[in-house]
Amino acid sequence: MTKADLVNEISDQTGIEKIAVQTAIEAFMNSVKGSLEEGKNVYLRGFGSFVVKKRAQKTGRNIAKNTAIIIPEHHVPSFKPAKTFVDSVKNKVKS
| Angle, CA of 13, 16 and 19, to the nearest 5° | 120
State the CB neighbour count (10 A cutoff) for residue 59.
8
Supply the pLDDT for residue 14.
Answer: 96
Q: What is the mean pLDDT of each run of 10 residues along the chain (95 residues)?
A: 96 96 97 96 96 95 92 96 94 83
Query: Domain 41-95 is of which CATH architecture?
Result: Irregular (4.10)
Is pTM, for the whole model, over 0.95?
Answer: no
